[in-house]
Amino acid sequence: MKLFYTGPFVNADMLVMMLEKHGIVATQAFVDPTAPDDGDLSRPCEVFVPEADYPRAHEPFYTEREDEL
């Protein structure tokens, strides 16, 4: 697995769902797993994707689209 994103839980959770819609199975984990789960949506979280799927995952989220110019 390769680290794809680090950021707030709320964003990471949505990213995992969006990746699943593209057929990419992603996992997420809290940066500090020992911190109490108090429902804080801004708690830092990491998203991991399979190494083989990384280029495919990167394309829709980080590549500039020429048709939007």
Task: Supply the pLDDT for residue 66.
Answer: 59
Task: Supply the pLDDT for residue 60.
Answer: 78
**Distance of CA 44 to CAs 16, 30, 31, 32, Å?**
14, 6, 6, 8
- Report the predicted TM-score, pTM, of the whole model to 2 decimal places: 0.83
**Distance of CA 6 to CAs 16, 65, 66, 68, 69, Å?**
12, 23, 26, 26, 28
Q: Say if residue 61's pLDDT is above 80.
A: no
Nearest residue to 56 via CA among 21, 13, 30: 21
User: Averaged over 38-47, what is the pLDDT?
Assistant: 93
Label residue 65 by pLDDT band (50, 70, 90): low
CA distance 59 to 38: 34
User: Averaged over 47-64, what is the pLDDT?
Assistant: 88
2-68 fold: Alpha-Beta Plaits (3.30.70)
Task: Supply the pLDDT for residue 67.
Answer: 59
